[in-house]
Amino acid sequence: MPDRLNVGAIGLGRMGRVYAANLAQRVPHARLVAVADQKAGLAESFAREFGVARFYESHHDLLGDPDVHAVAVITSTSTHKEMIVDAARAGKAVFCEKPIALALDDAIEILRVVEETGAFLQMGFQRRFDAAYAGARRKVEEGVIGTPVVFTSISRDPCRPPLEFCDPKISGGLIADMGIHDFDVARMYMGEVKTVHAIGGALAYPEMKEVGDIDNAIIDMVFESGSLGVVQLSRNSVFGYDIRGEIWGTKGSIQIGYFRQTPILMMTREGITHDAVPYFFERFESAYLTQIQDFVDRVLNGQKPAITGADAVAAMRISLAATASFREQRPVDIH
Amino acid sequence: MPDRLNVGAIGLGRMGRVYAANLAQRVPHARLVAVADQKAGLAESFAREFGVARFYESHHDLLGDPDVHAVAVITSTSTHKEMIVDAARAGKAVFCEKPIALALDDAIEILRVVEETGAFLQMGFQRRFDAAYAGARRKVEEGVIGTPVVFTSISRDPCRPPLEFCDPKISGGLIADMGIHDFDVARMYMGEVKTVHAIGGALAYPEMKEVGDIDNAIIDMVFESGSLGVVQLSRNSVFGYDIRGEIWGTKGSIQIGYFRQTPILMMTREGITHDAVPYFFERFESAYLTQIQDFVDRVLNGQKPAITGADAVAAMRISLAATASFREQRPVDIH
Amino acid sequence: MPDRLNVGAIGLGRMGRVYAANLAQRVPHARLVAVADQKAGLAESFAREFGVARFYESHHDLLGDPDVHAVAVITSTSTHKEMIVDAARAGKAVFCEKPIALALDDAIEILRVVEETGAFLQMGFQRRFDAAYAGARRKVEEGVIGTPVVFTSISRDPCRPPLEFCDPKISGGLIADMGIHDFDVARMYMGEVKTVHAIGGALAYPEMKEVGDIDNAIIDMVFESGSLGVVQLSRNSVFGYDIRGEIWGTKGSIQIGYFRQTPILMMTREGITHDAVPYFFERFESAYLTQIQDFVDRVLNGQKPAITGADAVAAMRISLAATASFREQRPVDIH
Amino acid sequence: MPDRLNVGAIGLGRMGRVYAANLAQRVPHARLVAVADQKAGLAESFAREFGVARFYESHHDLLGDPDVHAVAVITSTSTHKEMIVDAARAGKAVFCEKPIALALDDAIEILRVVEETGAFLQMGFQRRFDAAYAGARRKVEEGVIGTPVVFTSISRDPCRPPLEFCDPKISGGLIADMGIHDFDVARMYMGEVKTVHAIGGALAYPEMKEVGDIDNAIIDMVFESGSLGVVQLSRNSVFGYDIRGEIWGTKGSIQIGYFRQTPILMMTREGITHDAVPYFFERFESAYLTQIQDFVDRVLNGQKPAITGADAVAAMRISLAATASFREQRPVDIH
């Protein structure tokens, strides 16, 4: 393989900067050669700070740069279709942060273009690259817990987003916005989902009713194998970021969990206390790095994507069915 | 109050012996004055071993003993109605191990007789007397976690019962047999349940299909308050007895859990390992004692029962609705 | 063996009541037939409350009771010699709470009389009957951690005793008063001690200097095998009762520890918090019961004492050497 | 401050490569402009791999490079004096990995030259930059645990070094080689040490006696404040890397500890098991990065060193006194 992959980063918002900085400084086989962001001056200032050779406001210009062999798309979801389609047609390998799209039609159109062009598209679901989730997968595959029969996943954010981002038309709603990570790892461990049923409510932040969203939900799942699953989502994990999973098998169980930010235990008259991981970036910092390294290495080595567009669509179908189940108060099959 | 309550124990099977031995030796304000079991010789041998004054084969004889002021009924569920009704009519205070009955009609008939006779009936749900579940209740009532919005409960047995006990006609099936404890504490923390939905399967022990039962289930619940709940049940907790709960509130969460049998940590090349609580009796040994002490003290002090027949019926209704939901693959309302 | 052992309890102070109540109610093969306490009326009121047949103010009277076959001596340490010697000469089997005596001469005189009379004397060191310490012993004996090479023991009380009990002339001082439990289990796991070195100070309660005692100490030990040990003692464990141990071996380690009183985890903005075991009785409640059961069973079965007077003297010698080491600021050999 | 500090790295052995790679890729304000290693070709290959402009075999050449403003010295301890003295005289800011020297005379000579030249010298003790140790320091300084009265530190390696590195003439022996980290943090939390006493033995690896070293040791300490400390060292932590600390205060305690490599819990018939941190680099990976960042930032900002040569000498004096105490079997004062 060539020494390094020349990558361009599109989108320099909060997560975009993380990806671009990782590509600039911490991914051995990547060379960040260009950045683009439609906000005036943002790409330039990032390029100066990190020593990136070229910067653009338009993603078209970046895609037209012959020195760019691959792109990382970290823009808002509503632009993913345009970015992926343009990049695929320009012959670039593409990494795109989840979710693939807001509407299923858009996602299917993306898959079509990717197939037509033969483009390399790897989707970002960083949880698969977390040491715990990946380690659990290896243990399951080794048969340590026998046949997995129940999957449990808990995802709880420390607070709700600003109300304007809670509008389900923008975010997809709690179940789609947060649950897609859980649905993705559900598929990874357990295979395809046959039926979902969801309940939920605006229980901690009544104001979320105004925008039509909820703050807590429980989704149960029957997999095609007959195995069972349950996902819990919440926006009011006031103590920190609560991400847990369990794969329950016929010969044992794997618990995935990690509450502590620092290995300090305070023991005082008030009790024995420790801190908690504050939020997703602290919890998954190294998973984000590992994920983009994986993309770079797969492109360089001519391997297949670790997480395909079809994977992203499959997780999306579960999200949409669960959202429908919640609204219609009945179990919904996945098609 | 009088110094001690004269109690008779009816039923000396496995759990019956535990209750009777507690009453004989470990409950300060109780005096075990009589025991009865229909199995020839069993009551007599118990009476000799524990120094109990009188023993009977027929519960009628025990109930006719004027020295007996209260009875503990620890017989098979199918006999509960006869025992409670006879004892109530005989003017005895009654403690009865859960579940109150197999059929709802029987349970309602029991409630009717209890009301008619004004009898004292306290139902046994030992989890409410466990230091963790009771302590969590106090914390919730103190408002430490704000408003509870999601309730989670996990109950997992280390193995399946013998197949002959799995027949749903005898046991009520997994959801009723195991879940009733979870449904009882659900009501304790969260209030009444409005709707349930259940999924399940014979996933670890395919032979359970033969008797029409399942070995794993997930039941989600919407409470009348709009809050949410989920119960997980399993028969294949191969590492030990897995009983956990969580009350998730607007200002924090209470986790209830206890895996370790002994406070020993083994650290070897194979990893860092500890043991697990093997089964329900080790986990709830002191809760069973506290529960029967509570019954004795309430009768002596003229207080109301801690857990009424109506409580038992309410938990039963949830069990039955969840069982129906599983069979009919749709959410079921509680009436 | 006879069905039950007739036991008399001498001393009904705080711990004496615990032992007597256990013997009265919770030890299957014991029959508490008599109690004695020199404080007027105390034995009588206890006897009435627990249904004990006979009560005495003088231990002589109890020892003269032909129906008493064994005695539990839970009096103040300064009277142990008189009690054990009198009971041994009266032909009673004796259980005596640690420490055996304050002065080494007294202890040796006790051993002499026990040997001369052939009396059964079992000393109380409840930690040996704790599930964790006993379980660790079995693991060590099974070879799970190879050869033990370092022993660590931490004993920390939640507060200092009243100053009048801190006077080393009465208590023996911190190292003897608290450390004797650690020295006893040190011998159990590691064999005899060759040399000790102690440091300490009145660091948390300066007022302890007035009575000549300290509140924190560290004692290191070299065993005759060449293995190493360290004991930490403290009176200012403000969060609860901190009792831990470790046996460090060539193939692994066993950690003994137990901080939590209830299996409840509180997760709020202030952090993730759990409670702590408050003090020794909560921590060792079942060990005290197991210990006196063991005494009763050994007497009934004609077995040897689990912990002999010689064991108590050996632990005492370590205490005295460690106390001398602290005072003289030099390592001291055990003779 | 200037944007970036031009650093040269001297020594590209195992730890040297880690430091140099961090400087090349992960320290925002550093620019690795030169590397040197006496082994032929090593500096060149590293320079090519990491895009470093200049490479040398002789540290003299690197120090003669006017573009180098600061150096990181990660060579064998026996060369530290030469490196630091040469760098100080060449006017470079110096970071040097601990220990400062093998012999006290050499260390004092280094301090003299640093003072004479006014050079910036920061010593590497990465534990001070670990989130747990640094966080505990802040908590202690905030008074959360009152006055610290007992310090405990455990350092245990998963295996012994090759015998040729165990020779105390090269390594300084177990107490100096491993204990210096513990002695350094002891000073950080508790102030200066007055007296030490050490015991130890070749208990797990008898072959270490041949080279005159030991594999387990316990060192107790009295601080000048009167507070107490104990350090445990071992080479046979077969399950992984065991690094723990405790600061025990009048109002509470801080426990520092971290056993788990991944947040996965395996629950099978064999028990509940998790993994362990394998060794120092996994445990302290981010501390090493934070430490060299701190050096760079302090030089750029004109601040004082975080850990001075005098700190390194103070830790060394404790090591030497403890080693002497072990050999002479008596407490030794620090001068």
Please name the residue of chain D whose CA is at the shortest distance from the CA of residue A259: D263
Single-letter code of the amino acid located at A44: E
| Within a domain: C289 | no
Q: Are residues A206 and A115 in the same domain?
A: no
Give the tokens for residue A36: 């683009």
Name the residue in chain B with its Cα closest to that of D271.
B275
What is the SS3 assignment for chain C?
CCCCEEEEEECCCHHHHHHHHHHHHCCCCEEEEEEECCCCCHHHHHHHHHCCCEEECCHHHHHHCCCCCEEEECCCHHHHHHHHHHHHHCCCEEEEECCCCCCHHHHHHHHHHHHHHCCCEEEECHHHHCHHHHHHHHHHHCCCCCCEEEEEEEEECCCCCCHHHHCHHHHCHHHHHHHHHHHHHHHHHHCCEEEEEEEEECCCCHHHHHHCCCCEEEEEEEECCCCEEEEEEECCCCCCCEEEEEEEECCEEEEEECCCCCCEEEEECCEEEECCCCCHHHHHHHHHHHHHHHHHHHHHHCCCCCCCHHHHHHHHHHHHHHHHHHHHCCCEECC
Look at A169-173, C171-175, D90-94 and tell me which has the smallest mean pLDDT: A169-173
Domain boundary among C100, C119, C138: C119
Percent of chain A with pLDDT over 70: 99
| For testing contact with chain D, the best of B156, B266, B273, B277 (most D CBs within 10 A) | B273
Distance separating the N- and C-terminal Cα atoms of chain B:
40
**Same structural domain, B94 and B160:** no
- The CA distance from B95 to D97, in Å, is 72
DSSP category for residue A160: P
Q: Which of D100, D119, D138 is the last residue of a domain?
A: D119
* pLDDT tops 70 at residue C98: yes
pLDDT tens per residue across span B224-245: 999 999 999 999 999 999 999 9
- The pLDDT, as a whole number, for residue D143 is 96
For residues C187 and C324, state if they share a domain: yes
pLDDT at position D224 is 98
pLDDT at residue B3, rounded to an integer: 79
Which residue of D lies nearest to B269 if distances are taken between CA atoms?
D239
What's the average model confidence in pLDDT over A69-84? 96
Report the complex ipTM: 0.95
Q: Is residue C196 part of a domain?
A: yes
Say whether B267 and D273 touch across the interface (CB within 8 A): no
Residue C64's nearest CA partner among C8, C4, C110 is C8
CB contact under 8 A, C272 and A271: no
Which of the residues C267, C268, C275, C279 would you substitute to probe the A interface, choosing the one with the greatest number of A C-beta atoms within 10 Å? Answer: C267
Q: Which token pair is A154?
A: 């808990």
Mean pLDDT of B314-334: 97
Query: Is B1 a residue whose pLDDT tops 60?
Result: no
Mean pLDDT (chain C, rounded)? 95
| DSSP state letter for D226 | S
A291 inside domain = no
Which pLDDT belongs to residue C185? 98
Phi then psi dihedrals of residue A234, to 5 deg: -155, 150
How do residues B275-287 score in pLDDT, each as one tens digit? 999 999 999 999 9
**What DSSP state is assigned to residue A162?**
P
CB contact under 8 A, B216 and A250: no
Which of D242, D258, D262, D289 best tests the A interface by mutation, with the highest count of A CBs <10 A? D262
Residues in chain C closer than 8 A to D214 (CB atoms): none
Within a domain: D293: no
Residues in A closer than 8 angstroms to C275, CB to CB, are: 271-272
Would the CB atoms of B274 and D272 count as touching at under 8 Å?
A: yes
More confident residue, B165 or D47: D47
Give the Cα separation of A67 and A88 in Å (integer).
16
User: In the predicted model, what is the mean pLDDT of residues C308-335?
Assistant: 97
Instruction: Give the neighbours of chain C: at least 3 Cβ pairs within 8 Å.
Output: A, B, D
Nearest CB to C272 within list A267, A270, A273? A273
How many C-beta atoms lie closer than 10 Å to residue D210's C-beta? 12
Euclidean distance between CA atoms A266 and A269, whole angstroms: 10
Give the closest-approach CA distance of C312 to chain A in angstroms. 34
Would you state the pLDDT for residue B2? 59
Q: List Cβ neighbours of C327 (8 Å cut-off, separation of 6 or more).
A: none
Q: Give CA separation, C75 vs C83, C100, C151, C286, C311, in Å.
A: 8, 11, 31, 21, 19
Q: Collect all residues from C whose CB is shorter than 8 A from any CB in B.
A: 25-26, 28, 131-132, 135-136, 139, 144-145, 251-258, 261-269
pLDDT digits (tens, 9 = 90+) for C127-155: 999 999 999 999 999 999 999 999 999 99
> Are D185 and D266 in the same domain?
yes
What is the mean predicted confidence (pLDDT) over B17-26?
A: 94
Res D168: pLDDT: 87
The β-bridge partners of B169 are none
The strand pairing partners of A74, in sequence order, are none
- What pLDDT sits at residue C2? 59
Distance, in Å, from the CA atom of B189 to the CA atom of B134, rounded to the nearest integer, reads 10
Residues of chain B contacting residue C256, judged by C-beta atoms under 8 Å apart: 263-265
pTM of the model: 0.94
Residue D292 is assigned to a structural domain of this protein: no
Write down the pLDDT at residue B93: 98
Residue in A with minimal Cα distance to B219: A220
Both tokens of D175, joined, read: 């107490």
As beta bridge partners, residue C224 has: none
For residue B99, is it within any domain?
Answer: yes
Nearest CA in chain C to A277: C271
A39: three-class secondary structure by DSSP: coil
- DSSP reduced 3-state for A183: helix
Whether D326 and D217 have beta carbons less than 8 Å apart is answered as yes
Binary contact (C216, D150; C-beta < 8 A) = yes
Picking from D147, D197, D227, the nearest residue to C220 by CB comes out as D197
Is there a single domain that holds both residue A23 and residue A134? no
Would the pLDDT of D1 be above 60?
Answer: no
Summary mean pLDDT of chain B:
95
Interchain contact, B271 vs D238, CB within 8 Å: no
> What angle (nearest 5°) sits at the alpha carbon of residue C320, between those of residues C317 and C325?
120
Q: If you count them, how many residues does chain A have?
A: 335
Read off the pLDDT band of D2 (50, 70, 90).
Answer: low
- The DSSP bridge pattern shows strands C5-10 and C70-73 to be parallel
Q: How far is A150 from chain C (nearest CA, A)?
A: 25
User: Does residue B34 belong to any structural domain of this protein?
Assistant: yes
What is the least distance, in Å, from the CA of D256 to any CA of chain C? 15
Q: Would you say A132 and D274 are in contact if contact means Cβ atoms under 8 Å apart?
A: no
Sort out which chain C residues have CB atoms less than 8 A from A158's CB and list them: none
Optimal mutation site among D239, D268, D274, D277, interface B, most CBs of chain B within 10 A? D239
Q: Are C146 and D226 in contact (CB under 8 A)?
A: no
Task: Please give the angle made by the CA atoms of D79, D85 and D90, to the nearest 5 degrees.
Answer: 125
Instruction: Clarify whether residues C279 and C135 are in a common domain.
Output: yes
Q: What is the mean pLDDT of chain A?
A: 95
| Domain that includes residue A273, residue range | 128-283+315-333
Token code pair at residue C28: 């299957």
- Residue position matching structure tokens 């150096």: D71
Give the span between the Cα atoms of A233 and A236, in whole angstroms: 9
CA C180 to chain centre: 7
Judge whether residue A2 has pLDDT over 70.
no
Cα–Cα distance, C67 to C64 (Å, whole number): 9
State the sign of the Cα–Cα–Cα–Cα dihedral D298, D302, D303, D307. positive
What's the confidence (pLDDT) of residue D25? 85
Decide which of C68 and D335 is more confident. C68
pLDDT exceeds cutoff 60 at C316: yes
To the nearest whole Å, the CA of B267 is away from the closest chain D CA by: 6
Q: Mean pLDDT score of chain D, rounded to an integer? A: 95
CA angle C261, C264, C267 (to 5 degrees): 130
At residue C1, does pLDDT exceed 70? Answer: no
Which residues of chain C neighbour D237 with C-beta distances below 8 Å? 253
Distance from C-alpha of B141 to C-alpha of C289, rounded to nearest angstrom? 35
Q: Which of C239, C242, C269 sits opposite A271 (nearest CB)?
A: C239
Q: What is the pLDDT of residues D197-210, one digit of tens each?
A: 999 999 999 999 99
The pLDDT score that the predictor gives to residue B28 is 83
What separation in angstroms does the CA of D255 have from each of B280, C236, C255, C269, D150?
Answer: 33, 15, 15, 21, 12
Calculate the CA B157 to chain-centre distance.
14
What is the CA B274 to chain-centroid distance, rounded? 28
Confidence of residue D258 (pLDDT cuts 50, 70, 90): confident
Q: What is the pLDDT of residue A166?
A: 84
| Contact across the interface for C271 and A272, Cβ inside 8 Å | no
B197 half-sphere exposure, CB direction, 13 A CA radius:
24
Q: Which residues of A touch D268 (CB under 8 A)?
A: 144-145, 251-253
CATH number of domain containing A207: 3.30.360.10
Q: How many CB pairs under 8 A join A and D?
A: 80
- Structural domain tally of chain A? 2
Residues C109 and C141 placed together within one structural domain of the fold: no
Tokens of D314: 């103070």
CA distance to partner chain B, nearest, from residue C65 (Å): 24
CATH number, domain containing residue D67: 3.40.50.720
Q: How far is CA A333 from the centre of its chain?
A: 23
How far is C144 from chain B, CA to nearest CA, in Å?
8
pLDDT at position C17 is: 96
Chain D residues whose C-beta sits inside 8 Å of any chain B C-beta: 238-239, 242, 259-260, 266-276
Q: Is the peptide bond before B162 cis (omega within 30 degrees of 0)?
A: no
Same domain, yes or no, for A103 and A204?
no
| Amino acid present at C176 | A
Contact D263 A267 (CB under 8 A): no
CB-closest option in B152, B203, B238 to A226: B203
D139 and D242 co-located in one domain: yes
Residue D109 burial (C-beta neighbours within 10 Å; 0-12, 13-18, 19+): middle
> Domain check: are C158 and C279 in the same one?
yes
Considering the domain architecture, whether residues A109 and A133 belong to the same structural domain is answered as no
Residues 6 or more apart in contact with residue C190 via CB below 8 angstroms? C148, C151, C223, C225, C227, C229, C247
Pick from C28, C254, C264: CB nearest B266: C254
CB C17 within 8 A of CB C76: no
In B152-205, which residue ranges form alpha helices assigned H by DSSP?
Answer: 163-166, 168-171, 173-190
Alpha carbon separation from A69 to A90, C89, C256, D155 (Å, rounded): 10, 97, 57, 48
User: Helix and strand tally (H, E) in chain D?
Assistant: 11, 15
Q: What is the mean pLDDT of residues D300-308?
A: 97
C299 found inside a domain: no
Evaluate whether B43 touches B12 at the Cβ level (below 8 Å).
yes
Task: Give A237→chain C minimum CA distance, Å.
Answer: 8
Do D194 and D114 lie in one domain? The reply is no
- Report pLDDT digits (tens) over C281-308: 999 999 999 999 999 999 999 999 999 9
- Nearest partner of C183 among C323, C16, C327, judged by Cα: C323
pLDDT in tens, C192-204: 999 999 999 999 9
Q: Which residues of B touch D270 (CB under 8 A)?
A: 273
Q: In this predicted structure, what is the pLDDT of residue A133?
A: 97
Of D119, D146, D168, which one is at a domain's C-terminal end?
Answer: D119
Residue type, C198: A
